[in-house]
Amino acid sequence: MIPLSWYLTLSAALFSIGMFGVLARKNAVAILLGIELMLNAVNINLVSFWRYNNPVLMDGQVFAIIVFAVAAAEVAVGLALVISIYRRRNTVVADEIDLMKW
Amino acid sequence: MTAAQIIFLITAAVILGSAFMVVTTKNLVHAALWLIVTLFGAAVLFATLNAGFIAVVQVVIYIGAIAILFIFAVMLTRRSMTDTGPGLNRGWWLSAAIALLTFGGLVWLVSGWGGFTKAAPAYPSGFDAVAALAHALVSPEAFVLPFEVASVLLLAALVGAVYIAFQRKGEE
Amino acid sequence: MDFWSNPVKFLDDWLTGVFSGWGMAADAARVLTAFVGILVLITLVMVLDIFLVWLERKIVSRFQDRIGPNRVGPFGLIQPFADIIKLIIKENIYPVGVDKAVFNLAPVLMMMSVLLLWAVLPLTSFLGLDLNVGVLYVIGVGALGTVAIIMAGWSSNNKYALLGSFRQVAVMISYEIPMVAALLIPTIFAGSMGINSIVAAQDTWYIVLAPLAFLLFLVSATAELGRAPFDLTEAESELIAGHHIEYSGMKFGLFYASELLHAFTFGGFIAAFFFGGWRGPWVEAYPALGLFYFIVKATIAYWLFGWIKYTFPRIRIDKMLDLNWKFLVPFAFVLVPFLALMHALLRETSFYALGMFLANIALGWATIEILRRRAHGERAKVEGAVEMHG
């Protein structure tokens, strides 16, 4: 049988990889890709906690579903912003979008 | 080593390897395709955790909608099909150090917790998780309010996305 | 155990026994047997696919007042084999600038997205996995097909291919919504998402209880399959061949075969959801007879797709998205609660089937009436404007 620790370690590793993507990538779309990885790590955690505590209580799965909804909303708004910025300033490199920087 | 463990290890290797490719590949369409592989691996994990509904929803929403949206966005924000310049910041090694520290910290944190190595309880025979999830989502004693709030959030986000990305006539 | 009541289970047990007899662990023997089963099913499906090529050509020739293939073998039955040999010995061409890995993966993924559907297709009462999320699984596997199309279009490094795949993806994502709504109705009636349970629950065929849902599914499935009148991805006159422009030889063959097999598979789903699947006379006594009924019903549904394909001309992309977002989606959102309500009201009564059928007719008539009034209003407006200017 697989102990819970395997799932938690995998999810921590996936979260860290996603975080590296968010911090290190230049392209704004690539940063959003990293955020997707982090959200997926959260989902793996939620579902494995559901399975390893008491499978009759559905809380973990419900939270996972809500994470899906949030992820979809985040991607829709995020990509709309990226496309809008690209139209106005002709760049998707996060460092060059510095109009609000003081 | 049991069959379940072998399946888990293979899936985990696929997930982590493709996730690494997502954050390092220069070609963004390839990165989005690697993301599909990662998401599919996560769906396999959900299936092995007896969460069939979550696994299928993962495929429908993430691969069928979100990944496709990413590929569209990459193509819309690119004048030429080829990439130029490095994909990573100059300070990428700092990000790598922070990510490694986060991983170490997270593992250290959860390994101190008592339930870290616990085994899964037996799955109740005859228990229909899909029906239970459906009841949990619409029952007033459980999660009907968060569920509705999530749907309103989704609607607001989509209306906002259309408004932001909409190109008015005469603009450029 | 009686062989004819469940031949698959019988063979499965026998094969597992043989493997265990060779000194294999019980788990490994079961996994190996499952793989053998998958291999057999896929082989049979691919052989069926070869004959679908022949069937398709015969259907189209009849619609176009021709005879169709009739030279190679009796009734031209060997023709598809000749086609395959031709495709296999063709040169494999990589155009300049192709992304090779993605380019080669796309046709495989396309075929896979069709073959995966056969896991839940209820061929008989004992064949076909009764997954408790079966209906969603069908939608999810369709998403893989979308990915395959966009991969083919992007990796070909050809603007026609990219345009074709963009169109097709826009259509597939849009038409998924009415399709999900149409599939919700059998799910509500049967109280289960397992496709075999839906078939088992059809004491009256759902085409009688919900003819409107059947029409909705037929239209959205035609769009999802990318067949005429929704074959904008190919649109020979403007895009040459859409996402598979640059493919040659057997890679093109895989796209072609997966399109035909996809249509037949959806014919199978129409049979399962609306025509009562494997149910028919004497099936309780001889479950294996269900396979025959299922294939007959699926072929009829497949022929229906062919009839539509060769009768209607192709429509424009904006008209097609209008049809979806301005008519099918609102209609689906009215249809699902309406039929669920009628189902809840009439379920216990003795005139359940008749009442449901009449309710559908009433809703269909009301829809047509509303559309007619609207069209008359629009027309009066246009004619009034013309008169003022004229």
DSSP letters for B78-99: -SSSS--S-SB-TTHHHHHHHH
Q: Please name every residue paired with A27 in a beta bridge, in sequence order, or none if there are none.
A: A93
Q: Is B68 within 8 Å of C136 when comparing Cβ atoms?
A: no
* pLDDT bracket for residue B79 (50, 70, 90): low
Q: Is C132 within 8 Å of B29 when comparing Cβ atoms?
A: no
The verdict on residue C377 lying in a domain is: yes
Q: Is C143 within 8 Å of B59 when comparing Cβ atoms?
A: yes
Among C95-99, C260-264, C285-289, C352-356, the minimum mean pLDDT is found in C285-289
Q: Is A73 within 8 Å of B74 when comparing Cβ atoms?
A: no
Q: Please name every residue paired with B88 in a beta bridge, in sequence order, or none if there are none.
A: A25
Among chain C residues, CA nearest to B35: C147
Q: Work out the minimum CA distance from B75 to partner chain C, whole angstroms.
A: 9
The pLDDT assigned to C5 comes to 67
C360-389 pLDDT, tens per residue?
A: 899 999 999 999 999 899 888 888 877 766
Q: Total structural domains in chain C?
A: 1
Residues 39-78 (A) with a CB less than 8 A from some CB of B: 40, 43-44, 47-48, 50-56, 58-59, 61-62, 64-66, 68-77
| Integer Cα distance of B42 and B63 in angstroms | 11
Touch criterion met for C and B (3+ Cβ pairs within 8 Å): yes
Residue B89 has pLDDT above 80, yes or no: no
Looking at every residue in chain C, the average pLDDT score rounds to 85
The verdict on residue C58 lying in a domain is: no
Q: Which CATH architecture has domain B1-82?
A: Up-down Bundle (1.20)
A4-94: CATH topology is Helix Hairpins (1.10.287)
Enumerate the domain spans of chain A. 4-94
Q: Is C76 left (phi over 0), alpha (psi -120 to 50) or beta?
A: left
> Is the Cβ of A96 closer than 8 Å to some Cβ of chain B?
no
**What is the residue type of C175?**
Y
Q: Is A76 within 8 Å of B69 when comparing Cβ atoms?
A: yes
C177-208 pLDDT, tens per residue?
A: 899 999 999 998 888 888 888 888 888 888 88
The verdict on residue C306 lying in a domain is: yes
Looking at every residue in chain A, the average pLDDT score rounds to 86
| Integer Cα distance of B57 and A69 in angstroms | 11
Residue B156 has pLDDT above 90, yes or no: yes
| Integer Cα distance of A48 and C346 in angstroms | 42
Residue A91 has pLDDT above 80, yes or no: no
The pLDDT assigned to C4 comes to 66
A66-79 pLDDT, tens per residue?
A: 999 999 899 989 88
Q: Residue C329 corresponds to which tokens in the numbers above? A: 């989606």
* pLDDT bracket for residue C236 (50, 70, 90): low
| Integer Cα distance of A27 and C367 in angstroms | 49
Q: Work out the minimum CA distance from A19 to partner chain B, whole angstroms.
A: 6
Touch criterion met for B and A (3+ Cβ pairs within 8 Å): yes
Residue B80 phi, psi (nearest 5): -110, 160
Looking at every residue in chain B, the average pLDDT score rounds to 84
Residues of B with CB under 8 A from a CB of C: 3, 29-30, 33, 36, 52-53, 56-57, 59-60, 63-65, 67-68, 71-72, 75, 81, 128, 130
The pLDDT assigned to C96 comes to 83
B101-123 pLDDT, tens per residue?
A: 999 998 888 888 877 778 778 88
The pLDDT assigned to B83 comes to 55
Residue A27 phi, psi (nearest 5): -75, 135
**Segment holding C128, helix H or strand E:** none
| Chain A touching partners, 3 or more CB pairs below 8 A | B
Candidates B127, B143, B161; nearest CB to A76: B161
Q: Is B23 within 8 Å of A69 when comparing Cβ atoms?
A: no
Residue C235 has pLDDT above 70, yes or no: no
Distances (CA, A) of C235 to B70, B163, C164: 26, 32, 8
| Integer Cα distance of A67 and A77 in angstroms | 15
Q: Which residues of A touch B121 (CB under 8 A)?
A: 52-55
Which of B5, B9, B15, B24 to probe by mutation at the A interface, max A CB count within 10 Å? B15
C339-360 pLDDT, tens per residue?
A: 889 888 888 888 888 888 888 8
C127-139 pLDDT, tens per residue?
A: 777 788 888 898 8
| Three-state secondary structure call for residue A25 | strand
Average pLDDT over residues A42-56: 88
Q: Is A33 within 8 Å of B8 when comparing Cβ atoms?
A: no
| Integer Cα distance of A10 and B155 in angstroms | 33
Touch criterion met for A and C (3+ Cβ pairs within 8 Å): no
The pLDDT assigned to C337 comes to 92
The pLDDT assigned to C62 comes to 87
> Is the Cβ of A36 closer than 8 Å to some Cβ of chain B?
yes
The pLDDT assigned to B81 comes to 46
Closest by Cα among B86, B97, B27, B28 to A19: B97
* pLDDT bracket for residue C2 (50, 70, 90): low
* pLDDT bracket for residue C78 (50, 70, 90): confident
Closest by Cα among C165, C147, C168 to C156: C165
Expressed as residue numbers, the domain containing C259 is 90-389
